[in-house]
Structure 1
Amino acid sequence: MQVVIDGITYVSHEEPAWRGEEHYMAMVDLAQFDLPGMREQIWLREIDKAGEYEVCCIPFYAYGMALGDVVSKGESDTVGPSIRKSGRRALRVLFTAPRPLADSRLSLRRALDSVGLMSEWNGDRQVAIDVPDMSVMQPVVDAIQSEIQAKTAFWEWSDSKHYDPS
């Protein structure tokens, strides 16, 4: 979900992949990823009292982090530097509007279910997919391949850029 407050667009995760009883939320300023005026709210779970937090959502816009990564929390409830990677990746797909007759969103949902991958949707055109194991990705790629070729959907890996909170 996205909401604009005082000219800043805040992106939140309505259904984080690992929703639990006690979570913290911290912001990522997306200006470093060429998205000025945008912030993404990341769900975190404290894993120890030494200030380590586990990422519990699949980032829609923030680069350099994935579900299960361990990060620190910075000042003013921001996501701090990465402490260690989980080994997971996040694949993000954006479907353009208007939608073509051969809309692959339903096929993608079925493919994700068939291989047991978690995903989070931001509206009905953007999805972030948790990829713990690349070996199961072929049905997912097959589901969206025709739209990728037709340029009615675009994909990227969240680890294609580094996250630097400074």
Structure 2
Amino acid sequence: MIHADLSDRQDGWREQLWTHQLTEDTFEVACLPFFTYGICYRDVVTIDSNHLLTRVMGKSGHRTLRVALVVEHADRNRIHERLHGKTVDAGLPHEWLQDTYLAVDLPPDSDETSFVEVLEPLAQAGTLHWELDS
């Protein structure tokens, strides 16, 4: 496990990233980062002596679709169920954080169009924010 320094957003904030160690200071990312931009599943990264991510050595071609729900609890549950069903139906790896944040792995050559068709109307209604990272 390594950490990404996110103190540029909030002092002392870090994201824990699950990894597979390749060499002493080189790791393959084995999770879907929720808050660390520019890092995706299976990217190869290096760390410093404090186990902090220092740079990306190789991009995997995977992308991360991130969603943050910004609605009240009752509506959040309904939207959560809809998005969860969408990811399961698509057969894509995904992770939830506190039923509010969703990260979906988009492997190389995958098409996010079907997700965007679901997400964009919800974003326009102000119920969620979404982004695509590579």
Q: TM-score range by the shorter chain?
A: 0.7 to 0.9
The answer for unaligned runs of 5 or more in structure 1 is 1-24, 160-166
Q: 1:157 to 1:35 in 2, by over 3 A?
A: farther
How many pairs does the alignment contain? Answer: 133
What is the rounded CA distance, in whole Å, between the counterparts of 2:81 and 2:99 in structure 1? 11
Equivalent residue for 1:3?
Answer: none
Task: State the identity %.
Answer: 31
Equivalent residue for 1:46?
Answer: 21
Q: Which amino acid aligns with 1:72?
A: T
Q: TM-score if structure 1 supplies the norm length?
A: 0.72
Would you say 1:111 and 2:86 are equivalent positions? yes
What is the rounded CA distance, in whole Å, between the counterparts of 1:37 and 1:97 in structure 2? 28
Q: TM-score if structure 2 supplies the norm length?
A: 0.87
After TM superposition, the structure 1 = structure 2 runs for residues 35-74 of structure 1, keeping only pairs within 5 Å, are: 35-47=10-22, 49=23, 51-74=25-48
Equivalent residue for 2:2?
Answer: 26
What is the rounded CA distance, in whole Å, between the counterparts of 1:126 and 1:101 in structure 2? 14
Q: 1:64 to 1:40 in 2, by over 3 A?
A: same
Would you say 1:82 and 2:74 are equivalent positions? no
Please tell me whether the aligned partners of residues 119 and 130 of structure 2 are also in contact (alpha carbons under 8 angstroms). Answer: no
Q: SS where residue 83 of structure 1 aligns?
A: strand
Please tell me whether the aligned partners of residues 44 and 53 of structure 1 are also in contact (alpha carbons under 8 angstroms). Answer: yes
Shift of residue 51, structure 1, vs aligned partner: 3.1
Shift of residue 99, structure 1, vs aligned partner: 4.6
The answer for unaligned runs of 5 or more in structure 2 is none
Would you say 1:124 and 2:99 are equivalent positions? yes
Shift of residue 135, structure 1, vs aligned partner: 4.0
Shift of residue 124, structure 1, vs aligned partner: 0.5
Question: After the TM superposition, which of the residue ranges 64-73 and 108-117 deviates more from structure 2?
Answer: 108-117
How big is the alpha-carbon RMSD for the aligned residues of Structure 1 and Structure 2?
Answer: 2.0
Please tell me whether the aligned partners of residues 100 and 152 of structure 1 are also in contact (alpha carbons under 8 angstroms). Answer: no
Q: 1:52 to 1:87 in 2, by over 3 A?
A: same
What is the rounded CA distance, in whole Å, between the counterparts of 1:95 and 1:150 in structure 2? 12
Shift of residue 158, structure 1, vs aligned partner: 3.2
